[in-house]
């Protein structure tokens, strides 16, 4: 019975380590992809001669992704709020770029989504402050 127990513990530790390695590798791939996309965007802006608001919002998305990766490597936690910030910025970017061709209901839907995401951030911040030990989001 103890052989089975030690085998189970070994497999569990191995699974945890493989999962950690996968996290690090995928985050490194994401980091490289963000830097690659940022470089391509800068080259595109240089060819255009001037950045648009769309370009600037895209840079905020890149910056938020890089910040999220950095926080993970420092704390070993994935900050949920940063994912929500990225979603808000992405929806804002769509609104800014396409607002002239959107129907009113689409605009209301997108702004409603932004409002719901902002409320989600408030709920996460409140619960992190109210229940500091139990929340996986420490930001």
Which residue is it, tokens 């990225």? 86
Residue 41 confidence (pLDDT): 96
Name the residue among 76, 80, 71 with its Cα closest to residue 128.
80
* pLDDT confidence bin for 139, thresholds 50/70/90: very low
Cα–Cα distance, 68 to 26 (Å, whole number): 13
Is the per-residue pLDDT at 23 higher than 70? yes
| Beta-carbon contacts of residue 38 (< 8 Å; ≥ 6 apart) | 59, 62
Give the list of residues 6+ apart from residue 34 with CB closer than 8 angstroms, or none. 62, 65, 66, 69
Cα separation, 54 vs 65, in Å, equals: 17
Q: What is the pLDDT of residues 58-108, one digit of tens each?
A: 999 999 999 999 998 898 888 889 899 999 999 999 999 999 999 999 999
Residue with tokens 């391509």: 40
For the beta carbon of residue 39, count every other beta carbon within 10 angstroms: 10
**pLDDT tens string 27-61:** 999 999 999 999 999 999 999 999 999 899 999 99
- Name the pLDDT band for 6 (thresholds 50, 70, 90): confident
- Reported as a pLDDT band with limits 50, 70 and 90, residue 4 is low
């Amino acid at each position: 019975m103890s052989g089975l127990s030690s085998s189970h513990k070994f497999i569990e530790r191995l699974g945890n380590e493989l999962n950690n390695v996968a996290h690090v590798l995928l985050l490194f791939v994401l980091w490289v992809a963000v830097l690659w996309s940022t470089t391509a965007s800068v080259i595109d802006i240089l060819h255009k001669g001037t950045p648009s608001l769309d370009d600037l919002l895209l840079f905020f998305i890149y910056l938020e992704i890089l910040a999220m990766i950095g926080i993970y490597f420092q704390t070993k936690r994935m900050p949920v709020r940063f994912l929500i910030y990225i979603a808000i910025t992405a929806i804002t970017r769509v609104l800014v770029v396409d607002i002239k061709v959107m129907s009113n209901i689409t605009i209301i839907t997108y702004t409603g989504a932004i409002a719901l995401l902002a409320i989600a951030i408030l709920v996460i911040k409140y619960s992190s402050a109210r229940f500091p030990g139990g929340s996986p989001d420490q930001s």
